[in-house]
Structure 1
Amino acid sequence: MQAVLYVCHGSRVAEGRRQAVSFIEQCMETVDEPIQEVCFLELAHPTIEEGVQTCINKGATKVAVIPILLLSANHAKHDIPEELEPIKQSNPSIQFQYGAPFGVHERIVDILLERIHEQDSELSEEDMILLVGRGSSDEAVKENFREIESYVKEKTKIHKVETCYLAAAHPTFAEGLEQAKASEAKRVFVVPYLLFTGVLMQEMTEAIEKLSSPQPFILCNYLGYHPNLREVLRDRVYEAIST
């Protein structure tokens, strides 16, 4: 019997965890599989091991493990597979299928644009867009953001589109803010490339509130669990099951 195990990142902020579970529950309605469970990579329960065990207890013989992550970085490439390895060894009769993160996707870029237009529907070529990623030491993530920048430039006709990172990569968020402040941009739209609210969103809000700048810095909402993401996730589930 097929099971689907959705692996969310986890958050110290209860609202972030609640949003993650709520999103997955909505996605479950679009996936026609008998066993579907949610777990967390870190900072929350159930853990991956607990999630797998629940699937097995319900009769699963195959478990599709789906990372609820935006890009393929260390969590997707190393952390989740490393968590799974001893679980696989303890359950040799269970077939595991490992899915891909959301990845760079035009439907996700459309959410970014929606978040910007929520702040102002009329954009100017004199405006600047500062994308804010979680950050990773994986160079592939920077390449992903270069692709995302290209999509955003193409869809908005704004030429000043830059990326900074909240951790593990440069330019840092503080550096990104200073570079934007020194630019000739009329306004700076700060766009978090994050799935949910949490400590990182709180830190960004505080940093922008403290910023002294001649031009307005407009913090947009995080991606959130948008219908477009449900569509992309459904695709990732069935890709994994078909392997």
Structure 2
Amino acid sequence: MKALLFICHGTRLKKGRIEAEEFVKLCMSQVDVSIKEICFLELAEPSITKGFEACIQKGATSISVIPVFLLSANHIKTDIPKKLHHLKNQYPGIEVIYGRPFGVHEAIPHLLWEKIMNSAVNLKKNTHILLVGRGSSDQDVKRDLEKIASNVQKHYGIPSIQACFLTGSEPSVEEALWSNRYLHDQIIIVPYLLFSGLLINGMKLTINRYQQLSETSVTLCETLGYHPILKEVLLTRINETLETKRYAFS
């Protein structure tokens, strides 16, 4: 019997955890698989182990694992596979198929443009947009976010857009803000994050410090959240994982 196990990142903030669960449940309701569980990599419960074992207790013999993550960083390449290998060894009779994160998807630029348009500011000729990712030491994350920024620019003719990061990669948000201090009258920050969390709070503090010393207008857009485009991207990843064994653990 097939099962779907959704792995979210996790956060200490209850609001962020609830947002993640509600978003995944919305997608789960549109998938015809009888066993569906949600778990978290860290900072929240249930853990991956508990989610995996819940699938087995309900009769699963094949578990398709869906990482609800934006980009392929170390969590996707190392942390989750390590945990799944351990569980596979514990339950050798269970087939485990590992799906893909959202990644560089052609629909994402339209979502980001909508966030920019909903920021309640009028774009100027010298507006600069910062697309802010979580960041990672994995260079694929930097490459992918820069590719997404480039796709937004191509689709909508934005004159100036830059990928930057909260941690682990350069440039940081702070570096990007100060390096553009005298170049632009307006900066719009688009967080490339799924849900609310401590990272957003830290970003707000950075913006407040910057605006105390600069006359440049800075606007912070909302996180990606429950958007229908993200739902469709996740449903695409679910269906491709159910239909293929390219990512199966042997």
Normalising by structure 1, what TM-score? Answer: 0.96
Structure 1: distance between partners of 2:200 and 2:180: 19
The corresponding residue for 1:240 is 241
Whether the 8 Å CA contact 1:125–1:157 is kept in 2: the answer is no
8 Å Cα contact 2:108/2:148 also seen in 1: no
Give the alignment of 1:40-189 within 5 angstroms: 40-120=40-120, 122-182=122-182, 184-189=183-188
SS state at 2:37 partner: strand
Any gaps of 5 or more consecutive residues in structure 2?
245-250
Say which is worse superposed, 148-157 or 129-138, in terms of deviation.
148-157
AA aligned to 2:131 is L
Q: Deviations for 1:75-129, whole angstroms, at most 9, x for unmatched residues?
A: 1111100011110001111100000000011222211111110113642331110
Q: Following TM superposition, by how much is the alpha carbon of 1:5 offset from its aligned partner in structure 2, in angstroms? A: 0.3
Q: Please give the root-mean-square deviation of Cα atoms over the aligned residues, in Å.
A: 1.1
For residue 155 of structure 1, report the CA deviation from its aligned partner. Answer: 2.6
| 2:248 matched residue in structure 1 | none
Separation in 2, partners of 1:176, 1:23: 31
The letter for the 2-side match of 1:128 is: H
AA partner of residue 24 (structure 2): I
Match of 1:192 in 2: 191
How far apart, CA to CA, are the structure 1 residues paired with 2:193 and 2:166? 11
Q: Structure 1 CA distance, aligned partners of 2:121 and 2:204?
A: 22
Deviations along 1:51-86, one digit per CA (max 9) or x if unpaired, are: 010000001110001100001111111110001111
Q: Which amino acid aligns with 1:75?
A: H
Once the two structures are superposed, residues 104-162 of structure 1 have per-residue CA deviations (whole angstroms, 9 ceiling, x without a partner) of 11222211111110113642331110111100111111111221121111233222111
Aligned partner of residue 38 in structure 1, secondary structure: strand
1:93 alignment partner AA? G
- 8 Å contact 1:126–1:158 — kept in the other structure? no
Once the two structures are superposed, the pairs formed by residues 189-228 of structure 1 within 5 Å of their partners are: 189-211=188-210, 212-228=213-229
Identity %: 45
TM-score where L is the length of structure 2: 0.94
Using the alignment, how far apart are the partners of 2:197 and 2:124 within structure 1?
Answer: 31
Contact 2:166 2:173 in 1 (8 A): yes
Could you give the per-residue CA deviations for residues 27-48 of structure 1, whole angstroms, max 9, x where no partner exists? 1111111111000000111000
Task: Output the amino acid matched with 2:217.
Answer: P
2:34 is the alignment partner of 1:34:
yes
CA distance in 1, matches of 2:180, 2:163: 10
Instruction: Give the letter aligned to residue 178 of structure 2.
Output: E
Deviation at 1:205, TM superposition (A): 1.0
Which residue identity lines up with residue 43 of structure 1 in the other structure? L
State how many pairs are aligned: 242
7-16 vs 205-214, which moves further: 205-214
> What's the CA shift for 1:180?
2.4
What letter matches 2:149 in structure 1?
E
Runs of 4 or more above 2 Å deviation: 120-125
Q: Using the alignment, how far apart are the partners of 1:2 and 1:47 within structure 2?
A: 20
Give the counterpart letter for 2:30 in structure 1. T
Q: Whole-Å Cα distance in 2 between the matches of residues 31 and 185 of structure 1?
A: 46
